[in-house]
Structure 1
Amino acid sequence: MPPAPLLPQADRPAPGLRASAGIIAAYFVLQFAVGIAFALAVGVMESFSRADLGLDAAIRTALAQPSMQALVAILSLGVAAPPTLWLARRTWPQLWSLAQPPGFGFTPPRHLLFFALAVATGLAAPVLGSLLTQWLAHGHAVPQDIQQIGGNTPLGLRIPLVLVVVCVGPLVEELLFRGVLLSALMKRWHVGWAVAGSSLLFALVHLPGLQYQWYALPNLILLALLLAGLRLRSGSIWPAVLAHGANNLLAVAVWFVTVNPPG
Structure 2
Amino acid sequence: MVAVAVLGTGALALAGAAPRTDDHVASVLVNSSCAAVAGLLTAWVLCWWKNRRVRPRAADFALVPSLRSPVAVFGWTAGPFMALMMIDTAYSALVHPAPQDTMRALSDAQGPQLITLAVLAICIAPVAEELVCRGVLYQALRARWRPAVAAPVSAVVFALPHQDDLKTMPMLITAGVVLCVVVERTGSLVPAIALHSVLNAPAIMAQDGLLGGALLAVMLAACAFLLTKSRRAVPEHASGEQPA
Q: Which residue of 1 aligns with 2:61?
A: 104
Q: Which residue of 2 aligns with 1:243?
A: 195
Q: Which residue of 1 aligns with 2:119?
A: 163
Letter in 2 for 1:218: P
Q: Which residue of 2 aligns with 1:131?
A: 90
SS of residue paired to 1:106:
coil
Matches of 1:190 and 1:63 in 2, distance apart?
A: 49
SS of residue paired to 2:160:
helix
Q: What is the Cα deviation at residue 195 of structure 1? A: 0.9
Structure 1 stretches of 5 or more lacking a match?
1-30, 43-61
Question: Relative to total residues, which structure has the larger helix share, 1 or 2?
Answer: 2
Q: What is the Cα deviation at residue 148 of structure 1? A: 1.0
Q: Does 1:255 align with 2:207?
A: yes
Do the aligned partners of 2:36 and 2:129 also contact (CA within 8 Å) in 1? no
| Shift in alpha-carbon separation, 1:94–1:109, aligned structure 2, 3 A | farther
Do the aligned partners of 1:106 and 1:238 also contact (CA within 8 Å) in 2? yes
Structure 2 stretches of 5 or more lacking a match?
1-7, 212-244
Do the aligned partners of 2:61 and 2:135 also contact (CA within 8 Å) in 1? yes
Q: Which residue of 2 aligns with 1:200?
A: 156
Q: Which residue of 2 aligns with 1:172?
A: 128
Q: Please point out which of 60, 77, 80 is paired with 1:121.
A: 80
Q: Does 1:151 align with 2:107?
A: yes
* TM-score with structure 1 setting the length: 0.62
Letter in 1 for 2:178: L
Matches of 1:236 and 1:160 in 2, distance apart?
A: 28
Q: What is the Cα deviation at residue 89 of structure 1? A: 5.5
* TM-score with structure 2 setting the length: 0.66
Do the aligned partners of 1:109 and 1:236 also contact (CA within 8 Å) in 2? yes
Matches of 1:95 and 1:195 in 2, distance apart?
A: 23
Kindly tell me the number of residue pairs found equivalent between the two proteins. 197
Deviations 1:201-247 (A, max 9, x none): 2122211xxx2x22211111111111111101111000000000100
Deviations 1:5-59 (A, max 9, x none): xxxxxxxxxxxxxxxxxxxxxxxxxx9xxx9xx99x99xxxxxxxxxxxxxxxxx
| Shift in alpha-carbon separation, 1:157–1:127, aligned structure 2, 3 A | farther
Letter in 1 for 2:61: F
Letter in 1 for 2:85: P
Do the aligned partners of 1:107 and 1:236 also contact (CA within 8 Å) in 2? yes
SS of residue paired to 1:193:
helix
Deviations 1:130-180 (A, max 9, x none): 322432x2xx45221101111111133322321111111111111111121
| Shift in alpha-carbon separation, 1:95–1:228, aligned structure 2, 3 A | farther
SS of residue paired to 1:236:
coil
Q: Flag the structure with larger Rg.
A: 1
Q: What is the Cα deviation at residue 70 of structure 1? A: 5.4
